[in-house]
Amino acid sequence: MPEKPNAPEYPTALGASSLDSITLLGQDLAADVMGEVGFGELAFWLATQRRPTSGETRVFEAVLAALADHGFTPTAITARLTYLSAPDSIQGAIAAGLLGGGSRFLGVTEDCGRFLHDALSTLENGHPTDETGWDELALATVRSRREARELIPGLGHHVHKQGDPRTPRLFQLATEEGLFGPHLSLFAAIGRVHPQVLGSTLPLNGAGVCGAALADLGLPLDLLRAFALLARTAGLIGQLAEEMRNPVANDIFLSVDLNNRAVPPHPADGGEASASG
């Protein structure tokens, strides 16, 4: 009788189950993880497959708290309106809110982390060793972005024009835990020197400082937005819980529906020419 071919194997260090146990990251889920490991610590561990130190967990969880909810942002409104339309699909409402996490909301965390990483990767002689050196690097970085007519991720906020309260707090926490690394150092220096180039003073925003902190924790750049979305998931659950208790989505919908105004069509540039052949 011919031998059966070997069954394929799919190795994973994450969750695995047997008849009488579940393992996660090499730990017994029931005995070693449940009730022993906080969710923020576990999220870090799952992403890196190394258990974070207590200091890393503190900074990481501070980032999650900073990004969890910002009120009636487009992502929150979208989630509430989706729930209004499909109350039978809580997953759809949460997914709709998460899909709005892009370059203007939430995506700044990733954009800033990448921007700082790219600037640091150009250094040939190591990182600066004092504030003067960081300021020189920051000036060169800001000037380069200005010459390229590109925005500086993490700089400016539409509400906190005099300073985002999350930024100094995260600087403080990272310093206390010995985790104020090169990304945060460069970000802080940009905050000090950018008026020399831009001619105005803008705040370092919370989304940007979160990206710098996550990069200093050694988390993969490709996952920085994912961590922002993880944080915002908790916020969206809160938004939907409040919507169930005190609904406002229908008022938002009606404020648009009852106040729309019909206007003649306005073809896009070239539209009339295209229509006429």
Domain region containing 168: 54-257
Domain contains 12: no
Compute the half-sphere exposure of residue 127: CA atoms within 13 Å on the CB side of its CA. 14
- The amino acid present at 230, given as its one-letter code, is L
Segment 81-93 shows an average pLDDT of 96
Give the angle subtended at the CA of 206 by the CAs of 102 and 243, to the nearest 5°: 65
pLDDT one-digit tens code per residue, 137-153: 999 999 999 999 998 99
Segment 115-142 shows an average pLDDT of 94
Domain contains 6: no
Q: What is the pLDDT of residue 34?
A: 95
Give yes or no for residue 175 having a pLDDT over 90: yes
- Average confidence score pLDDT of the chain: 91
pLDDT band at 1 (very low <50, low <70, confident <90, very high): low
Q: What is the pLDDT of residue 2?
A: 61
Domain contains 31: no
Do the Cβ atoms of 155 and 194 come closer than 8 Å?
yes
Q: What is the pLDDT of residue 3?
A: 63
Domain contains 131: yes
Return d(Cα 85, Cα 46) in angstroms, integer: 34
Closest CA to 151 of 185, 103, 99, 210: 103
Give yes or no for residue 271 having a pLDDT over 60: no
Segment 97-120 shows an average pLDDT of 89
pLDDT band at 103 (very low <50, low <70, confident <90, very high): confident
> Residue 59 burial (CB < 10 Å; 0-12/13-18/19+)?
buried
Domain contains 74: yes
Return d(Cα 109, Cα 210) in angstroms, integer: 6
Q: What is the pLDDT of residue 273?
A: 44
When divided into structural domains, the chain yields a total of 1
Domain contains 49: no
Domain contains 173: yes
Domain contains 21: no
Q: What is the pLDDT of residue 4?
A: 64
pLDDT band at 276 (very low <50, low <70, confident <90, very high): very low
Give the angle subtended at the CA of 163 by the CAs of 216 and 141, to the nearest 5°: 50
Give yes or no for residue 272 having a pLDDT over 70: no
- For the entire predicted model, the pTM comes to 0.89
CATH number, domain at 181? 1.10.230.10
Q: What is the pLDDT of residue 277?
A: 36
